[in-house]
Structure 1
Amino acid sequence: MMKLRSSPASPFGRKVKLALAILGLKGRVEVEDANTADPSDSLRSQNPLGKIPALILENGDVLYDSAVILEYLDFVAGGGKLFPEGEARFAVLRDQTLADGVMDAAILRIYEKRFKEPKYRDPAWDAYQAAKMERGLAYFEANVPAAPGTAADIDAGTLTLACALGYLDLRFGDSNWRADHPKLAAWLDAFEAAVPAYADTRQPPAPVPDNAPAVLK
């Protein structure tokens, strides 16, 4: 059986868990929590970068990061499900990359508060990352995907977008992202209705302690 090293709160790990459910592969992968801040965690020998998610294959090989893992799972499932063939593939790859970037920027903003004392925090750095998030959300608000009817309508781009927006709900629930992007908010509600695994993989909001372990993709 394959093994997924991840963390419950990681939006990148959630991408993989959603893909497993959508592709019908959930029963073929065991999920094992990883602590990226613990030098003794075997994650660092599995992925030299010490990042999650990492997928350990049955032959012992390890794949990382989330985009590569999604490609592999799509291949295992027969191909052409999360990544269409032909020219349409590149729009999906672009949207996946943009949504990944929104998640990266959001995580860096969390780290700025989590790992630095207030006197060392850089408001300009936070604003820089916030602007990345806003530009990404503005793009998707202006180019909102079609609402999925079923899980079969999901591709790697829309799957990643849903995880990015879910991470904003988790870590930035007091922001106005939904009010400021009503089309995206409505789209996410439709996504959740079409994909039961979205609710199943949701991490309940909780306070983030200053010494919490890092969660990287």
Structure 2
Amino acid sequence: MMQLHWSPKSPYVRKVMVCAHELDLLPQLELVRSVAAMLKPNERLMRDNPLSKIPTLVLDNGFTLFDSGVICEYLDDLAKGSLFPKDGTSRWPAQRWQAFGNGLLDVLILWRNERERETPLQPLLDAFALKTEACLRQLDAEAASLTDAPLTIGHIAIGCALGYIDYRFDSLGWRAKAPRLATWHHTLRQRPSFEATEPIDG
């Protein structure tokens, strides 16, 4: 059985879990609760991933895979799924949306880390807010394309990023700023894979 270093709070882990649900691979995963704090490298996790980051997937033969995009593509290949389109017409929009979702998550996590510092730098907070709002505007403009395209890793990455905003930046009120994106996300989050992977404390 494969082992997945996992946390219920991580949006990158959520990407993998959504894929596992969509591909019916959950029975093949043993979830290993792993804490990956920036200032406290996890010695147990580092045996499988020297970067001390989650998600990390340990295959049956001991070979390890990271990061989330690599793991998701491996699971899709294992299940002969369609979350990573092979045709260029579909592949590059899916990969671009995945990069978009990942990039937005990177900004959000840096923003959260900065605002929790004892003396956060206001210019950094302002820059993160500006980038996030620009991303939401762009994604709102692409909501119709997201709606029309079959589910791919790009949809999953963007959905997890928006879910992270709900979890950590609820006061942002992003739906008022991106109403078309909000409508798309409302439908996406009703999929069983998203309902089952809502981030939780604990």
Which residue in 2 is equivalent to 1:170?
A: 167
The residue aligned with 1:187 is 184
* Contact 1:5-1:54 within 8 A present in 2 as well: yes
Map Cα deviations across residues 98-140 of structure 1 (whole Å, 9 max, x no partner): 11011111111111123x21xx311111122222222222111
Q: How does 1:190-209 map to 2 (within 5 A)?
A: 190-193=187-190, 195-204=191-200
Provide the residue aligned with 1:45 in structure 2: 47
Unaligned runs of 5+ in 2: none
| Residues 58, 65 of structure 2: 8 Å contact kept | yes
TM-score of the superposition, structure 1-length normalised? 0.86
| Shift of residue 41, structure 1, vs aligned partner | 3.5
Give the 3 Å change call, closer, same or farther, for CA 142–40 of structure 1 in structure 2: closer
Q: Name the SS for the 1:48 alignment partner.
A: coil
Deviation of 1:82 after TM superposition, in Å, equals: 0.5
Offset from partner CA, 1:58-90 (integer Å, 9 cap, x none): 1111111001111101110114x1111121211
**Alpha-carbon distance, 1:40 to partner:** 4.9
Counterpart Cα distance in 2 of 1:148 and 1:47: 38
Equivalence for 1:95? 97
C-alpha separation between the residues in 1 aligned to 2:99 and 2:18? 17
Amino acid at match of 1:20: A
User: What code does the residue aligned with 1:181 have?
Assistant: A
- Aligned mate of 1:54, from 56, 74, 85: 56
What's the counterpart of residue 35 of structure 1? Answer: 35
CA distance in 1, matches of 2:174, 2:42: 38
Q: 1:192 to 1:40 in 2, by over 3 A?
A: closer
Distance 1:148 1:28 in 2: 31
Paired letter, 1:99: G
Q: Percent identity?
A: 36
Q: Helix, strand or coil: the match of 2:5?
A: strand
* Count of residue pairs brought into register by the alignment: 198
Separation in structure 2 between the aligned mates of residue 51 and residue 199 of structure 1, nearest angstrom: 24
The aligned residue for residue 210 of structure 1 is none
**Structure 1: unaligned runs, 5 residues or longer:** 207-217
Residues 204 and 39 of structure 1, relative CA distance in 2, 3 Å threshold: closer
Q: Report the equivalent of 1:122.
A: 121
Residue of structure 2 in register with 1:69 after alignment: 71
Task: Find the aligned partners of 1:32 and 1:55 in 2 and give their Cα distance.
Answer: 10
Query: Is contact 2:115–2:125 with CA below 8 Å preserved after alignment?
Result: no
Residue in structure 2 matched with residue 215 of structure 1 by the alignment: none
Describe the SS at the equivalent of 2:83: coil
Cα pair distance change 1:138/1:6, threshold 3 Å: same
Distance 1:172 1:205, change over 3 A: farther
Residues 148 and 190 in structure 1, CA contact (< 8 A), matched pair in contact too = no
Contact 1:12 1:52 in 2 (8 A): yes
Note the alpha carbon deviations across 1:129-165, whole angstroms, 9 max, x for none: 222222222111001144389xxx3200001111010
- Normalising by structure 2, report the TM-score: 0.92
CA distance in structure 2 between the partners assigned to 1:175 and 1:71 by the alignment: 32
